[in-house]
Amino acid sequence: MAIVAVSVAPTGSGVSVGAYVAEALRVLEAQQRVRFEIGPMFTTLEGDLAEIFELILRMQEAVFAAGAARVSTVIKVDERRDRPAHMDEKVASVRERLRGRPG
């Protein structure tokens, strides 16, 4: 199980890239296997790493298909093999520590 932060955006396409990002996110909305959460700078994906990489390629292609001539993609991977990892658990663990309780 992997948790991946990804940002896919065109470069040289002006100041606002929201329309391009929306096209990339349509790829995620059209599938059911990889869980995702949209953030202001990155989208977090949770699932099988091979499936996630395949989706990222499709997201990048969607931005090209929307008219971008150049696309920049940033990927950060957290893969655990000792036990399943879930993005909600990672956030909950930090929030517990903020309340002074060991996670």
User: Tell me, what CATH number does 79's domain have?
Assistant: 3.30.70.930
Q: Tell me, yes or no, if the pTM score tops 0.85.
A: yes
User: Residue 33: inside a domain, yes or no?
Assistant: yes
Q: How many domains does the chain have?
A: 1
Strand spans (E) along the chain: 2-10, 35-38, 43-47, 71-79
Residue 45 domain boundaries: 2-98
CA dist., res. 7 & res. 80, Å (int): 21
Residue 103 forms part of a structural domain = no
Phi, psi of 12 (to 5 degrees): 75, 20
Task: Tell me if 73 is assigned to some domain.
Answer: yes
Tokens of 26: 């349509």
Is residue 41 helix, strand or coil? Answer: coil
The answer to whether residue 74 is domain-embedded is yes
Does 13 reside within a domain? Answer: yes
Which amino acid does the sequence have at 13?
Answer: S
pLDDT in tens, the chain (103 residues): 999 999 999 988 777 899 999 999 999 999 999 999 999 999 999 999 999 999 999 999 999 999 999 999 999 999 999 998 899 999 999 999 999 876 5
Q: How far apart are CA 98 and CA 103, in angstroms?
A: 10
34 part of a folded domain: yes
pLDDT of residue 102: 66
